[in-house]
Every structure is written in structure tokens, then in C-alpha cells.
Amino acid sequence: MKKLIALLLALVMVLGLAACTKPSTGNDETKPSGDNNTTAGKGTIAVIAKGETHAFWQAVKAGATDAGKAAGYEVTFRGPTAESEEFVNSQREMVQAALNNKDTKAIVLATIGLGFADELTAAFDKKLPVVEFDSGLYSGGADITEGKDPTIGGVATDNKAAAGVVAENFYKYLKDNNLLANGYKVGIIQHDSTSTGIDRAAGFKEGMEKLAAADNITLDINVQIKANNAGEYKLGLTALKDWGAQSIFMTNEGVVNEVFPEISDSAAAYKDILFCGFDAGTNQYNWMKDAGATYALLVGSVAQDSYNIGYKAVQMAIDKLDGKEVSDVGIAGVWYNKDNIDEQKDKNIFYMG
């Protein structure tokens, strides 16, 4: 009987141990740290943009999120209600929240005004790298306290290079269609006098002139510099039409959005002028898809690669955290026309809205 009891006790112990042991599924190997389909809980990259709801920022967010996921970081994305200096305090609160989050490992930031000196100093003191992206820090980082600079680099559209892409492709269209001759009149509607507007107008103008000079052609170029006020871009359009412009370059989506209704409503007046543009949006999509059948032809435009702006900015922060050397990244943008606009839309390069 004693032997039987001892045997039963031994059996119970074996069964108890078996019940406490997790069965193997055959998939218990540790995943490599570079697995792109999982977040490894490395921390948070806080992205604070100049906006959040516009399609441009949604594409930036998609790129930023994908970059974080690929390296095992969570990415938070926030921005003010509108891209206006009146929302500076709201944006500062977003930066402060990121600084107060113990999981924050780096910040990706584009400010809409001054007033971030304390936050940038705090980032420096916390050893949190800050990546400037899109338009970077307002007024060129005037908020940075001497000796307390947390910024490690910037990622943004190279506006001059992007406008040069427009010039290259637009000039080719003119040349292929035998439209060029000495004195050919090219107009530019520059959307403002900031560095962005200046660089885009200059990049297009210099690109066109260089290509024309190689063909021994002299162009007549007229630049209309307008403020971002209702009706200003329409005034620029009218002035160029009266001057006799044969082609017009529009330096941003805002110009396109004001010009498009005018050339739609007055099709006959603008029918013979060729257009090219910058940025994306629903109006450019509809205009380009028309392909000149109803009104003036929009030959093509360059879209800021907003997805890659977000991706590269977060990637720069992660590279810095990994101890890698980083440097500024300039993105030239992507040329699109009626033939590839849907393809670029599928790639999150062209956006509606």
C-alpha cells in the first residue's frame, strides 16, 4: 500500500509539472530586431507638424508612421488646427507634451511661429534630438539659445531643385512641340516673397534660361510676385495675359486654386496659354485630366514628395539615436502629368484635397 501511495504521489507531481509548462508551438524563436512588421517598443518619435488635417500632412503622417514601424518605434503625429501664427501657443503645448512624455526619444518639428526657445532648450537638456522638417523652425531657428541647440538636421523639399524639375520637363514639352523661338514669353506667378516663393520662381526661371541658352534661344520672362491675399493671384494672371504670356508657371497650390476657376470661367481668353504648376490637389487633378479639351492645357506639375518628407525625417531621428552620422536631406519632388498622375496618387505622392 505504501508503494502504491508513493507511486500515485509521483504521478501527481509529474502531471502538475506538465500542466505548468507552456507547450511549444514551433514558433518560439525570438524575432530579429529589424523585423519591419512589428514595433519593438523602443520608444516614441513625436512629430509636431504645422498642420494635421490637410491631405499633404496626412501623406507626411503616413510616411512618418511607416518609418517608425520599420525600426520598432511608435510615432505620434500632431499639428495645430490651421497653419497660422495664432496657433503658436497650441503648437507649443504639443511640444511640451512630447517633452513630458517619458517615452519620447526624439522630436520631429516644423514650427508656425516664434516662441519655442524654452522647449528647444529643454530638448537639449534632455538629450532629445530634434529634426527640422518641411519648412523647419520658424525664422531659421531664431528661438535657439546659444549653446543649447538640439537640432541635428532637416528634411524638406528643395524648392529650387523641384522648380528646376518643372523647368526641365516643361521645356522638353515646348521643344518637342516646336513652340520655342527667340522672345518666347514665359510668365511666373510667385505666391509670396518668402524664401519658398523666391526659390521656386528662381529655380524655374534659371532652369528655363539655361536650357534655352543651350539651344541659342532667348526667352522673355515676366515674374509677378503676389501676396497671399484673395484675388492677388488672379491679378497676376490677368497681368500676364495682357502682357502676352504664352506659358505660365504657378509656384504653389494656392495659385492654382485661384487661377483654375478663372481659366475655367473664361476659357476662350486663356485657351492658347500653356500652364505648369507646383504641389498637388483636386483642382490640379481635374484640370490635368481635362487635358486641354475644354480650357487651357495644364502640361504638368511637380508634387512635393510629402510621404518621403515624413519618412526621411523620422528615419533621420532614428539614425541619430542609433549613433549614425546624419545630414540635411533635400527632396526635389516628382514631376507628374496626365499620363502618370493616377500612379503618383496611388504612391501617396499626389494628394487630393
pLDDT at 41: 80
b/e 306-326 (16+ beta carbons within 10 angstroms → b): bbbbbbbbbbbbbbbbeeeeb
Out of 303, 322, 347, pick the residue that ends a domain: 303
Tell whether 198 and 249 lie within a shared domain: yes
pLDDT at residue 19 above 60?
Answer: no
Question: Among 80-84, 111-115, 241-245, which is the least confidently predicted range?
Answer: 80-84
Mean pLDDT within 64-90: 95
Position 22 in a domain: no
Q: Are residues 164 and 299 in the same domain?
A: yes
- Where are the extended beta strands (E) located within 74-218? 74-78, 104-109, 130-133, 151-157, 184-190
pLDDT of residue 22: 34
CA 200/CA 51 separation, integer angstroms? 22
**Residue 29 resides in a domain:** no
Q: How confident is the model at residue 213 (pLDDT cuts 50, 70, 90)?
A: very high
What's the number of domains the chain is made of? 2
CATH code of the domain covering residue 240:
3.40.50.2300
The mean pLDDT of 316-321, rounded to a whole number, is 98
Q: Is residue 1 part of a domain?
A: no
Do 250 and 185 reside in the same domain of the chain? yes
* Mean pLDDT to the nearest integer, 115-124: 97
With respect to residue 20, please indicate whether it lies within any of the assigned structural domains. Answer: no
| Mean pLDDT over the full length of the chain | 89
Clarify whether residues 316 and 248 are in a common domain: no
Residues 291 and 325 both lie in one domain: no
pLDDT value at 215 more than 80 = yes
Range of the domain at 201: 159-303
Domain match, 214 and 141 both: no
Are residue 193 and residue 293 in the same domain, yes or no?
Answer: yes
* pLDDT at residue 54, rounded to an integer: 85
Q: Which region holds residue 193: left if phi is over 0, alpha if psi is between -120 and 50, else beta?
A: alpha
Predicted confidence band of residue 20 (pLDDT cuts 50, 70, 90): very low
pLDDT of residue 28 exceeding 70: no
The per-residue DSSP string of 141-167 comes to TTTPPTT---EEEEEEE-HHHHHHHHH
Q: Is residue 262 part of a domain?
A: yes
Together in a domain, 145 and 59: yes
Bridge-based pairing of strands 298-303 and 274-278 is parallel
- Pair (61, 115) in one structural domain: yes
Judge if 168 and 295 occupy the same domain. yes
What are the cell numbers at 296? 487651357
Residue-level pLDDT at 353: 82
Read off the pLDDT band of 348 (50, 70, 90).
Answer: confident
- Asked, for residue 129, whether it belongs to a domain, the answer is yes
**Global pTM?**
0.77
Which pLDDT belongs to residue 223?
98
Q: Is a pLDDT exceeding 60 seen at residue 4?
A: no
Split at pLDDT 50, 70, 90, the class of 55 is confident
Mean pLDDT of 156-165: 96
Give residue 9's Cα distance to chain centre.
70
Is-contact 348 307, C-beta < 8 A?
yes
On whether both 66 and 118 belong to a single domain, the answer is yes
Asked if the structure places residue 279 within a domain, the reply is yes
Q: Are residues 120 and 247 in the same domain?
A: no
